[in-house]
Amino acid sequence: MNELQMLRQKNLDTIFNPKSVAVVGTNKVKGTVPYDILDNILKSDFNGMVFPVSPRELSIKGIRAYKYVVDVPDDVDLAILVFPSSVCHMALEQCGQKGIKAVIIISAGFKEVGEAGLMKERQLVDIARKYGMSFIGPNCLGVINTAPEVKLNASFAREMPGIGNIGFLSQSGALCTAVLDYASAKHIGFSKFISFGNKADISEIDLLYYLMNDDPTKVILMYLEEVSDGIALMKAAREVIAKSGKPILIIKSGRTEAGASAAASHTGSLTGKDEICDAAFAQAGIIRCDNIEEMFNKAIAFAYQPAPKSEKVAIITNAGGPGVLTTDAAISRGLKLAKFSEETTKILKKALPATANIKNPVDVIGDARSDRYVAAINAAFDDPDVDGVFVILTPQSMTDIDAIAEDVTKIAEGQTKPIYASFMGEKDVASGIQILQKKKIPHYILPESMCMAFEAVYHFNQHLKIKEHRVPELDHIQGKVARDMMNKFSSNGRSFIPEVETIHLLQTYGLPVPKGRLATSVDEAVQIAGEIGYPVVMKVVSDQIIHKSEVRGVELDIRDEIQAKEAYERIHEHVADIMPDASIKGIYVINMISGSEELILGIKRDPSFGPVVIVGLGGIFVEVFKDVSFGVAPLSYEEARRMIEQTRAYKILSGLRGRAPRDIESVIDALLRLGKMAEDFREIEELDINPLFVLEEGKGSIIGDARMILKRTK
């Protein structure tokens, strides 16, 4: 953490725990933001002092007001700016003069309205730097700290949320109001609630680090429209998760291109490819959610209940149909139905009527009252094969809904295994659901959501157990040779680097290149072929020819000297015919590989996450099945392995239907080396190895073709 970041952590502490707050630019007009902020702070029963700062008023709500913040006689810890954007810089300057270090800028009219706004925003940052201040915003809703020793609602949200252990961060202020309303109806509480707006100074990264050390926060939620620094976000997330074990759930909007352009039109975001974002989040251990509902469904599972030790659950229901639907949902989500022991079966048999289903899913039958539920849940909890219990209820005429809800909360107390519930319906079950929600039993309308939440907690906990991945040391890397080679490419202002040179570069990083060399005469070609042994392949090399096969510049399976001479001449004739202006550097003669599986490997530079390594099934299937997987560099061994395992090609490589298993380790090695290259050479915009021939287990891989695009240095 650099000095500026450390300063922000210190100032964030003041933002959340101020002894005195000035609301700068407030007024007496009810229903306006400048007034609502002041009003909310007072209503939240804040434990410190509040100073209204208003050029026009002597007092507001009976409290002495000051013309300027510098006029306030006491020390001010936190200033909240609600002036119009045109005068914010002057107010901030005064805050600096007053010695205030912590600021929230609520005012809108900055980056989000275009170039002029962006200039104003930069001015704010400059002023903050000058005085060692840090600020949240501009263009935000404010922040809330529910801690009983603080009780600060420094926002224009309609209401103060309840206390809880969820920290919520949002780039969109409007979404905050919907979230608060949603959470309040479901009795979901928060530790911190932060709208960070344009994040001109304090960013989501700073806030992540802050929440890492914030005791009351156990679960971190975030709504993001723009990943401005994906690398930093991943680094921060990894650190937060590793050090604190707190899960991070993020909604990143702009999944589709139209969505991204709508996001751009209102915040000016630059959005990277969505699949890369998926991969990067997964690598960092971030749980990506599609919407608020999904996020909170998972968040309450994390916040309310212990993590399951395995994916094996017991389902207790009073109706067969919903039991089947829940089983379907569980299996689809990768959960398993626990197998009850004889002991459990005996207990259930005794406790339930003869018509009940005592196998998992347990059907306590429509006329069940609470006693049957209690017996079944206890039996399930006691079974060693059960690591989680799902309680399903339909409101039938005999069902004592509230009593069952109460009993579920009692059974859950002190349990080390999680219990979730789904009371189906709406009106009749409403009071029962409220009982569950207040006592922190995760409740779900849909079995799907319940299973998805369970799976998320289980999966995150498995992720936590994995020892920190380390990027392995790679041998045979000639860093200096490669650097010189790359400098030479760039110094000539070249962008497209064709096969032979790309392969030379790859060789310096220990990637498996084919045998062969460039031939500039037919005799040399024959000589090379003789050296490496027939059959060989010949390919034209030219800076102008990107698609060699389109000029018929590739000859395969050349079996002897005569064929070699013919092939050499034929390539020259074809190129002369189809692309007479192309300058031919020579003919690349390499050994011919057969009996292999073909993959595609590559590097792409993502504007947000930086260097990304790609692997997938080669040949025409790349386009048909889009069977590719991404990893942000640098890669650990485990990440490189996961990348391959995630492709369907993995099944083929593993030896399908009596086909020979392939050398997967050599592919992992190639990915690790590509990852290192991508890190070391930021000028690589794209690099394709297509195909990589993967030989049988123990025999390695060989590059079949490669090319590279460098960033143009202007």
Q: Considering beta carbons, is residue 326 or 666 the nearer one to a copy of itself? A: 326
Q: Considering beta carbons, is residue 68 or 621 the nearer one to a copy of itself? A: 621
Q: Considering beta carbons, is residue 178 or 562 the nearer one to a copy of itself? A: 178
Closest distance between a copy of itself and the C-beta of residue 105, in Å?
17
**Amino acid identity at 234:** M
Residue 594 CB neighbours (<10 A): 8
| Neighbour-count burial for 651-675, b at 16+ CB within 10 Å, e otherwise | ebbeeeeeeeebbbebbbbbbbbbb
Q: Considering beta carbons, is residue 413 or 620 the nearer one to a copy of itself? A: 620
Closest distance between a copy of itself and the C-beta of residue 654, in Å?
10
DSSP code per residue over 393-446: E---TT--HHHHHHHHHHHHTT-SS-EEEEE-SSTTTHHHHHHHHHTT--B-SS
Closest distance between a copy of itself and the C-beta of residue 384, in Å?
20
Among 513, 506, 475, 515, CA closest to 602: 506
Q: Considering beta carbons, is residue 15 or 179 the nearer one to a copy of itself? A: 179
Q: Which residue has the tokens 């002369």?
A: 576
Q: Considering beta carbons, is residue 47 or 396 the nearer one to a copy of itself? A: 396
Q: Which two tokens stand for residue 583?
A: 């300058």
Q: Quick check: 77 and 21 in contact, CB under 8 A? A: yes
Q: Considering beta carbons, is residue 480 or 657 the nearer one to a copy of itself? A: 657
Closest distance between a copy of itself and the C-beta of residue 652, in Å?
6
Evaluated on CA atoms 437, 443, 444, 450, the torsion sign reads: positive
Query: Which SS3 state, helix, strand or coil, does residue 189 take?
Result: coil
Q: Which two tokens stand for residue 615?
A: 């692997």
Closest distance between a copy of itself and the C-beta of residue 112, in Å?
9
Closest distance between a copy of itself and the C-beta of residue 437, in Å?
12
Q: At what angle do helices 637-646 and 664-680 cross, to 10 degrees?
A: 120
From the number of C-beta atoms within 10 Å of its C-beta (0-12, 13-18, 19+), residue 130 rates as exposed
Closest distance between a copy of itself and the C-beta of residue 259, in Å?
4
Residue 638 CB neighbours (<10 A): 15
Distance CA 340, CA 384 (A): 8
Distance CA 96, CA 81 (A): 13
Closest distance between a copy of itself and the C-beta of residue 424, in Å?
4
> End-to-end CA distance of the chain, in Å?
33
Q: Considering beta carbons, is residue 266 or 682 the nearer one to a copy of itself? A: 266
Q: Considering beta carbons, is residue 99 or 321 the nearer one to a copy of itself? A: 321
Q: Considering beta carbons, is residue 100 or 622 the nearer one to a copy of itself? A: 622
Q: Considering beta carbons, is residue 290 or 573 the nearer one to a copy of itself? A: 290
Q: Considering beta carbons, is residue 178 or 466 the nearer one to a copy of itself? A: 178
Closest distance between a copy of itself and the C-beta of residue 369, in Å?
11
CA 636 to chain centre: 18
Q: Quick check: 690 and 638 in contact, CB under 8 A? A: no
Q: Which residue has the tokens 């070699």?
A: 564
Distance CA 191, CA 178 (A): 17
Closest distance between a copy of itself and the C-beta of residue 423, in Å?
9
Calculate the dihedral angle through the C-alpha atoms of 26, 28, 34, 35, rounding to the nearest 10 degrees.
120
Q: Do the strands 554-558 and 597-606 form a parallel or antiparallel pair, or are they unpaired?
A: unpaired
Closest distance between a copy of itself and the C-beta of residue 668, in Å?
20
**Amino acid identity at 236:** A
Continuous H helices in 533-663:
561-578, 621-625, 637-646, 649-653
Closest distance between a copy of itself and the C-beta of residue 108, in Å?
8
